[in-house]
Structure 1
Amino acid sequence: MKPREVSYESIWAKAVDDQESVARKSGNSAEPWEAQACRLGFGIYKTRCFCERLAREFFSPWYQPTAVEAGRLYLLNKHHWIPAEVKNLDIVALMAFLHEELTQMRLTKEEWEPVRNWTSHMDCYQLLAESAPLP
């Protein structure tokens, strides 16, 4: 049994789509709503990428965690929490608890590709590119 395939394009599209209504409603921003949705979705996307990496790392014949389960397991191990403290954490909560790891994380070329394809023409590109893989 091998870890499941990951579609970074799908993860990126969902992260941005989930932020679209928030971005459209905040009409007071000088930033176009599309760029704002991408910028807001980027944190969720990086969290999912981080957790997907963990899911591959924690994968075993007896345990095949989802990305969110792997993120919870990481927090259990890191902070010596008990399972009840993490069982209801969703991807947004994980993003808050993993903030330090996420700010230091660089995306792989495969993880970066959908972001680059989607945002290379947007004003937010340079900000997002700080997490891009090193050349």
Structure 2
Amino acid sequence: MSEEKDYELESAEVTWRLYKTQAQMNFLLEMFGRDLAAEKGYTWLESEGIEAIRYYLMQKHNWLPSQVNSMSLEDLSFAVEQEKKPWTLKKKYRGLID
């Protein structure tokens, strides 16, 4: 007897993996932003990584707040791709991502 595939379950599993991966990428972007804030001396933004990235991009490219605020997390990640290349997540946070 052949087993019938549960396409609803399979679809839900794919969706779960997609959202989990997106959440992990967003977390890494946030943590990169926190390290960027510390490196650049943005002491008022050290616990707000995404805002630190937005501020960095405004300073680097002379972009307006409205421009960086309209960017998605994927766009922000792409905009700092070169800066992220040498960066690694601190060891104490690595266990948070499975």
- Normalised by the size of structure 1, how large is the TM-score? 0.48
Q: Which runs of 4+ in 1 moved over 6 A?
A: none
Q: Does 1:74 align with 2:56?
A: yes
Distance in 2 (CA, whole Å) between partners of 1:68 and 1:93 is 12
Amino acid at match of 1:79: H
Distance in 2 (CA, whole Å) between partners of 1:25 and 1:82 is 45
Which one scores higher on RCO, CA 8 angstroms, separation ≥ 6? 1
Bigger Rg over Cα: 2
Q: Please tell me whether the aligned partners of residues 52 and 67 of structure 1 are also in contact (alpha carbons under 8 angstroms).
A: yes
Question: Which residue of 2 is the match for residue 88 of structure 1?
Answer: 70
Distance in 2 (CA, whole Å) between partners of 1:42 and 1:98 is 17
Question: Which residue of 2 is the match for residue 109 of structure 1?
Answer: 91
Deviations 1:91-124 (A, max 9, x none): 3431232233334421110221211xxx2xxxxx
Percentage identity across paired residues of the two chains:
21
Return 5+ residue gaps in structure 1 as ranges.
Answer: 1-23, 120-135
Return 5+ residue gaps in structure 2 as ranges.
Answer: 1-7
- After TM superposition, list the pairs within 5 Å mapping 1:11-90 onto structure 2: 27=11, 34-56=16-38, 57-59=41-43, 64-65=44-45, 66-90=48-72
Higher helix share: 2
What CA RMSD, in Å, does the superposition of the two structures yield over aligned residues? 3.2
Give the stretch that moved more between structures: 86-95 or 72-81: 86-95
SS in 1 for 2:96: helix
- Normalised by the size of structure 2, how large is the TM-score? 0.61
